[in-house]
């Protein structure tokens, strides 16, 4: 139903109060009508019962006289009950034996055909009573009873009387009581509706205010859910959950946008440095600033080294993009990780020995196989061990171990290096993340090594993380899925 403009401007609280008030007033009206009808019906029932008792008394008296007069209707001394009654007696053949109309009523009322149906039913042994039909010459109530003598039907008695209605004073008292009750009920309903409307609308008002602020960009808005776990309580909880999701998504978008800007800035910086060197050396060669053959050869080697640096940077970016987009193919097969670790330590041992660093494997003899790409996992191990080597001082130790946990194999690379500052630790797997601390600086990397490692582990369905204590060392853990058991 379409709301009128005036109604649409009302607050929800006002609408609730008005609706409850309308229901209360409607209930009072229905109650008043029901009470009046009930009173009238009660009065009618009482009068009919009184008339039936009167008719039964008269019928018994007529029957007794009929017996005394030896079944002769004509010898009966007729006497009716004084008052506004109509008495009509017929014999078994429906011949009228006696009729006494009420005072000030014409005797033609005795021949009213409206009585015929009731008399006919009485002569068939059935008592009838109620209001006189509308077609009757007089208005009121009646009772029509059969007359018996020793079980033999001898006639019928028809008694009619005017219907009495409740007095105006009585109805006035009833209406006054209904009015007072209605007023009290209205006051109670208004108070109750105000309380209930306030309880219902307060959470909605809080939600509206919070939603407006949320729309304006304040994503920290939350509402206090009502104690009752009803629809409003669930709505408040749903709103808070939605606000949590929106805030997290917006923060993530902002973080990604910042990462994108940092990525562009880092790429530009990492490209600019070798390009500037290449440009300077190339111009020096072209302008014959460097003329000595040995110096020209050294300059050419510097240019080649900077080009290789650019190629590594581009290759790392392409590799990471390929892995993250799912385009890189993983040649998954059951493999013994301890073998890959031994190969990695063999490759890294000369550099670590030269740096005074001890390498140690901590693998159990029964370490289960993993389902992984051998080349990719080797790349991960080499990257992590080399990263640990570059930040572990002489006399330090780098250890590699693994243990099964559920359906995954947890692998760790632990060093006794300088550690990572807690501020930098959450960001070490981000692209080009750099800080002038233990794991960053001018170490010669592209800034993508740990990002590539994370992309490879994620592509295998594993996870990677790091813990570190500055001055004591760092532990990087990653997981790989176990290979299915061979039956």
Q: Rounded to whole angstroms, how far apart are CA atoms 114 and 133?
A: 7
Q: Rounded to whole angstroms, how far apart are CA atoms 445 and 448?
A: 8
Residue 114 phi/psi, 5° resolution? -65, -15
Per-residue pLDDT, 341 = 92
Per-residue pLDDT, 466 = 93
Among 69-73, 91-95, 435-439, whose mean pLDDT is lowest? 435-439
Tell me how many helices (H) and strands (E) the chain has.
9, 12
Tell me the pLDDT band of 142, cut-offs 50, 70 and 90. Answer: very high
Mind giving me the DSSP string for 357-381?
-EEEEE--TTPPPEEEEHHHHHHHH
CA 398 centroid distance within chain: 53
Tell me the pLDDT band of 401, cut-offs 50, 70 and 90. Answer: very high
- Average pLDDT (172-199) is 80
Contacts 24+ apart (CB under 8 A), 226-235: 232/200, 232/203, 232/204, 233/203, 235/203, 235/207
Residue 370 phi/psi, 5° resolution? -115, 155
Per-residue pLDDT, 254 = 85
Residues 6+ apart with CB under 8 A from 279: none
Handedness of CA 284, 287, 290, 293 (dihedral sign): positive
The answer to whether the beta carbons of residues 399 and 434 sit under 8 Å apart is no
Per-residue pLDDT, 357 = 93
Tell me the pLDDT band of 129, cut-offs 50, 70 and 90. Answer: very high
Render pLDDT for 22-62 as a digit per residue (tens, 0 to 9). Answer: 887 888 888 888 888 888 888 889 999 999 999 998 888 88
- The continuous run of DSSP H or E covering 44 comes out as helix 12-68
DSSP code, position 111:
G
Mean pLDDT of the chain: 82
Render pLDDT for 225-243 as a digit per residue (tens, 0 to 9). Answer: 776 667 777 878 888 888 8
Distance linking the first and last C-alpha atoms of the chain: 70
Per-residue pLDDT, 442 = 40
Residue bearing the bigger pLDDT, 392 or 203: 392
User: Is 50 exposed, middle or buried (CB count within 10 Å of its CB: 0-12, 13-18, 19+)?
Assistant: middle
Q: Rounded to whole angstroms, how far apart are CA atoms 410 and 392?
A: 23
- The continuous run of DSSP H or E covering 50 comes out as helix 12-68
Q: Are strands 358-362 and 464-469 parallel, antiparallel or unpaired?
A: unpaired
Instruction: Flag whether pLDDT at 447 surpasses 70.
Output: no
- Average pLDDT (272-288) is 79
Helix segments in 216-291, DSSP class H:
231-286
Per-residue pLDDT, 415 = 94
Q: Rounded to whole angstroms, how far apart are CA atoms 472 and 228?
A: 52
The answer to whether the beta carbons of residues 20 and 14 sit under 8 Å apart is no
Among 75-79, 267-271, 302-306, 462-466, whose mean pLDDT is lowest? 75-79
Tell me the pLDDT band of 190, cut-offs 50, 70 and 90. Answer: confident
Q: Go through the domains of the chain in sequence order and give each one's CATH number.
A: 1-216 (no CATH), 232-324 (1.10.287.130), 330-481 (3.30.565.10)
């Amino acid at each position: 139903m379409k709301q009128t403009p005036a109604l649409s401007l009302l607050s929800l609280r006002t609408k609730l109060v008005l609706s409850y008030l309308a229901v209360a007033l409607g209930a009072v009206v229905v109650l008043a009508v029901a009470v009046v009808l009930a009173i009238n019906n009660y009065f009618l029932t009482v009068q009919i019962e009184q008339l039936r008792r009167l008719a039964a008394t008269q019928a018994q008296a007529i029957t007794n006289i009929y017996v005394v007069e030896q079944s002769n209707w004509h010898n009966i001394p007729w006497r009716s009950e004084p008052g506004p009654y109509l008495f009509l007696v017929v014999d078994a053949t429906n011949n009228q034996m006696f009729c006494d109309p009420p005072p000030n009523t014409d005797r033609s009322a005795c021949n009213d055909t409206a009585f015929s149906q009731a008399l006919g039913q009485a002569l068939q042994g059935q008592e009838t009573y109620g209001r006189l039909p509308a077609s009757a010459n007089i208005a009121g109530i009646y009772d029509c009873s059969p007359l018996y003598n020793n079980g033999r039907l001898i006639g019928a008695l028809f008694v009619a009387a005017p219907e009495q209605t409740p007095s105006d004073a009585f109805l006035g008292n009833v209406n006054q009581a209904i009015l007072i009750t209605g007023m009290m009920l209205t006051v109670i309903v208004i108070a109750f509706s105000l309380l209930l409307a306030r309880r219902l609308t307060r959470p909605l008002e809080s939600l509206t205010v919070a939603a407006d602020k949320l729309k304006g960009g304040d994503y920290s808005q939350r509402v206090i859910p009502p104690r009752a776990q009803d629809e409003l309580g669930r709505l408040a909880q749903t709103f808070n959950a939605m606000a949590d999701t929106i805030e997290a998504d917006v923060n993530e978008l902002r973080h990604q946008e910042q990462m994108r800007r940092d990525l562009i800035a880092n790429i530009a910086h990492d490209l600019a440095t070798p390009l500037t060197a290449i440009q300077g050396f190339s111009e020096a060669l072209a302008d014959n600033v460097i003329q000595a053959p040995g110096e020209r050869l050294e300059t050419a080697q510097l240019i080649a080294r900077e080009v290789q640096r650019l190629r590594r940077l581009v290759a790392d970016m392409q590799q990471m993009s390929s892995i993250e987009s799912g385009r890189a193919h993983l040649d998954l097969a059951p493999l013994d990780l301890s073998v890959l670790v031994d190969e990695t330590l063999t490759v890294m041992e000369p550099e670590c020995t030269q740096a005074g660093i001890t390498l140690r494997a901590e693998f159990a003899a029964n370490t289960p196989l993993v389902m992984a790409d051998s080349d990719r996992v080797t790349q991960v191990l080499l990257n992590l061990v080399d990263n640990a080597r570059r930040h572990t001082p002489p006399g330090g130790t780098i250890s590699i171990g693994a243990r099964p946990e559920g359906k995954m194999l947890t692998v760790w690379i632990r060093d006794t290096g300088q550690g990572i500052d807690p501020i930098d630790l959450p960001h070490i797997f981000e692209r080009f993340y750099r800080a002038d601390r233990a794991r960053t600086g001018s170490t010669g990397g592209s800034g993508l090594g740990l990002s590539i490692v994370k992309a490879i582990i994620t592509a295998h369905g594993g996870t990677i993380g790091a813990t570190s204590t500055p001055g004591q060392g760092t532990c990087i853990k990653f997981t790989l899925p176990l290979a299915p058991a061979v039956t």
